[in-house]
Amino acid sequence: MDKATVALIISGLSFAVSFWNVFRDRSRLDLKSGLIESHPEYGHEQIWFKAINKGRRPIYIRTVGGNLSVHGWMGTHIGETDFGLKLEEGQFYEAYWNRNDIFADGPDFEDEYIDIWLEDSHGKRHKIPNSKKYIQRLKASNHANTADAKKRRG
């Protein structure tokens, strides 16, 4: 192998390592979700979702919300500061929605969520995977909420 070929290989490897570092040196949310089935010991069905910062830079999640069937969207601020909830590398935010949480009450309207998303500090909305399907399942369930069930038992 001549010197030019060796230099080209080293240059290519150096570029690949630099590209990988730039790719990793950013915030990146990994979203997971699921439907927790109803169980007599644990209550009724719930939507479970989790956002994990897989990047090296921190990310701020400001709002959990969703699109409504008629009135646009609605959300709730997360965190104790105006910036929202700060997630460092490897940290996560986890939430559970039950049947009552899929209904939205505004000052002069009632509506229902059709999907769920998390909004970061840049205004980007990260959709929760399968949230539409899980909301439909909760709507179809004819269970009362857990508090009502406890009142009937007690």
- Give long-range contacts, CB 8 A cutoff, 24+ apart: 20-27: 24/55, 24/56, 25/55, 25/56, 25/57, 26/55, 26/56, 26/57, 27/53, 27/55, 27/56, 27/57, 27/58, 27/59, 27/87, 27/120
pLDDT at 142 over 80: no
Tens-digit pLDDT profile for residues 13-36: 888 888 777 766 667 899 999 999
CA distances from 29 to 65, 93, 108 (A): 16, 10, 34
Quote the percentage of the chain above a pLDDT of 90. 53
Q: Which residue has the higher pLDDT, 56 or 129?
A: 129
Q: What is the pLDDT of residue 56?
A: 86
Residue 79: which pLDDT band, with cuts at 50, 70 and 90? confident
Q: pTM score, two decimals?
A: 0.75
Q: What is the pLDDT of residue 145?
A: 46
Q: Which residue has the higher pLDDT, 153 or 97?
A: 97
Architecture of domain 27-153: Sandwich (2.60)
Q: Per-domain residue ranges for the chain?
A: 27-153
